[in-house]
């Protein structure tokens, strides 16, 4: 009996365990189905249609141009004996920068330059002397022609010309002599002008080789690394073996800085002269400058099969921190609109050549055809179709085998318009589609 009772108790216990196991399996299965069902619902990232100022711009990168700076250079060679300026000093054209104690090569160069200047001056004086002679001859020929043309043979008593006699050889010879004298005089005027240009050139060359170094343009001196005792040696142009001028320093003028950026063939038609721009520099990441477009090279520059269009932007203000050839980036504003209704650009799709926006209404997504206006990289204006405050879908997350996959690109704004992830666009607990 005891064995039978024990066997019965064991069988009863096993049965209870089986029942509990089955119940647990059913509970776990139901929970799993419930969890998977809940987790596999479509989720949306949303944003609200808002009103504000819509700014449309194009971007480009480039560098600060050297249009507002020049160089101080010299052909003199030798040892610096005196300095008249230092970095930061303001100078005018022709101001003295430094004195050089010329070496033998420098003395030879300055002597040759002075000789060339004297020769150019002599040529100018000779050309001027010739023009005086030609001017006198021209007036003499004109007087002869005038006296003949106004006598009774060639002119009537009322002052009108006697056309029948003005075809005579004597009259034409005198006329031609006067015209020839006038032509010679005008030609000599051009020769005098050329001789004067040669004198100016010879003098500038002499200044370049002279022991005194002069400022070439007005402005502020920078980059002057010379000191008394510094040696300037001869440098040669490798192309034609001629002596090259040695750079001494820079001069920055009072002109506002300019930045040249390269625009693509898609962006350049959108830009016009006078467009405003914001500029940033890699070297000055915490500062933003403003300016406007003053030049567009519509011919373009092609490199490696890619064509870009250099566009010049003049800054509105100067800064001592902006240096030539600094890397720069620019946003050129091509259009603005106040009180515009706009949504994230990612929420607008094209369907059958129409613009469509997915809008959440009553917890459901609906396709709405809209009319769009201006569009930037991140925002699109809505002219009609939706209203301010409407919730639009910027991206969709579709479940796949228990996991979630984003099927549309998200808004560039992330949380634009307060649009965090929402379950079906409903409340915090989510809503099923």
> In this structure, is residue 225 part of a structural domain?
yes
> In this structure, is residue 284 part of a structural domain?
yes
Identify whether residues 179 and 232 lie together within a single domain: yes
pLDDT of residue 425: 36
Is the separation of the CB atoms in 57 and 332 below 8 Å? yes
pLDDT of residue 412: 38
Identify whether residues 316 and 268 lie together within a single domain: yes
Identify whether residues 169 and 110 lie together within a single domain: yes
pLDDT of residue 8: 57
Is the separation of the CB atoms in 392 and 408 below 8 Å? no
Number of domains composing the chain: 4
Instruction: Copy the structure tokens of residue 37.
Output: 């069902």
> In this structure, is residue 392 part of a structural domain?
yes
Identify whether residues 184 and 307 lie together within a single domain: no
> In this structure, is residue 217 part of a structural domain?
yes
Identify whether residues 353 and 394 lie together within a single domain: yes
Query: Which residue stretches of the chain have pLDDT < 70?
Result: 1-11, 13, 29-42, 237-242, 398-433
> In this structure, is residue 344 part of a structural domain?
yes
Boundary residue ending a domain (295, 315, 337): 337
Identify whether residues 63 and 76 lie together within a single domain: no
pLDDT of residue 282: 92
8-state DSSP, 409: P
23-46 pLDDT tens trace: 777 777 666 555 555 555 667 788
pLDDT of residue 296: 94
Identify whether residues 246 and 153 lie together within a single domain: yes
> Domain of 180: which CATH number?
1.10.287
How does 202-232 read in b/e, with b if 16+ C-beta sit within 10 Å? bbebbbbbbbebbbbeebbbbebebeeeeeb
Identify whether residues 215 and 244 lie together within a single domain: yes
Identify whether residues 147 and 239 lie together within a single domain: yes
The domain in which residue 278 lies consists of 58-67+254-337
> In this structure, is residue 430 part of a structural domain?
no
> In this structure, is residue 350 part of a structural domain?
yes
> In this structure, is residue 169 part of a structural domain?
yes
| Alpha-carbon 14 to chain mean position | 86
Distance between CA 62 and CA 282 in Å, rounded? 11
Identify whether residues 322 and 344 lie together within a single domain: no
Largest CA distance in the chain: 177
Identify whether residues 281 and 142 lie together within a single domain: no
Boundary residue ending a domain (252, 283, 299): 252
Boundary residue ending a domain (225, 252, 279): 252
pTM over 0.95: no
Identify whether residues 145 and 245 lie together within a single domain: yes
pLDDT of residue 57: 87
> Domain of 331: which CATH number?
2.40.30.170
């Amino acid at each position: 009996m005891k064995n039978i009772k024990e066997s019965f108790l064991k069988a009863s216990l096993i049965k209870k365990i089986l029942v509990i196991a089955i119940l647990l399996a059913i509970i776990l299965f139901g929970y799993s189905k419930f969890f998977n069902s809940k987790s596999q619902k479509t989720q949306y990232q949303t944003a609200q249609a808002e009103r504000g100022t819509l700014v449309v711009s194009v971007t480009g990168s480039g560098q600060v141009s050297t249009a507002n700076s020049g160089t101080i250079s010299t052909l003199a060679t030798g040892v610096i004996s005196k300095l008249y300026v230092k970095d930061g000093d303001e100078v005018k054209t022709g101001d003295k920068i430094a004195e050089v104690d010329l070496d033998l090569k420098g003395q030879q160069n300055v002597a040759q330059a002075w000789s060339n200047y004297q020769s150019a001056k002599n040529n100018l004086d000779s050309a001027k002397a010739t023009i005086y002679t030609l001017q006198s001859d021209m007036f003499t020929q004109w007087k002869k022609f005038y006296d003949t043309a106004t006598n009774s043979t060639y002119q009537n008593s009322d002052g009108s010309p006697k056309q029948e006699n003005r075809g005579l050889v004597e009259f034409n010879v005198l006329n031609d002599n006067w015209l020839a004298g006038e032509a010679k005089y005008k030609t000599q005027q051009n020769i005098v002008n050329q001789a004067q240009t040669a004198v100016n050139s010879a003098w500038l060359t002499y200044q370049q080789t002279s022991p005194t170094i002069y400022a070439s343009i007005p402005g502020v001196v920078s980059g002057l690394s010379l000191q008394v005792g510094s040696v300037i040696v001869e440098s040669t142009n490798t192309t034609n073996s001629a002596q090259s001028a040695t750079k001494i320093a820079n001069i920055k003028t009072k002109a506002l800085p300019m930045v040249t950026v390269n625009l693509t063939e898609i962006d350049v038609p959108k830009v016009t002269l006078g467009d405003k721009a914001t500029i940033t520099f890699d070297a000055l990441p915490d500062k933003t400058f403003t300016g406007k477009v003053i030049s567009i090279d519509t011919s373009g520059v092609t490199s490696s099969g890619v064509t870009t269009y250099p566009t010049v932007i003049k800054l509105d203000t100067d800064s001592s921190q902006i240096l030539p050839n600094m890397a720069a980036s620019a946003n050129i504003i091509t259009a603005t609109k106040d009180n515009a209704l706009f949504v994230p650009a990612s929420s607008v799709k094209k369907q059958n050549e129409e613009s469509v926006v997915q809008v959440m209404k009553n917890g459901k997504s609906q396709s709405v055809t809209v009319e769009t206006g201006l569009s930037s990289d991140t925002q699109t204006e809505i002219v009609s179709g939706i209203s301010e405050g409407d919730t639009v879908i910027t991206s969709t997350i579709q479940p796949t085998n228990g996991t979630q996959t984003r099927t549309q690109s998200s808004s560039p704004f992330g949380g634009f318009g307060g649009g965090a992830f929402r379950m079906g666009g409903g409340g915090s607990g989510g809503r099923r589609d």
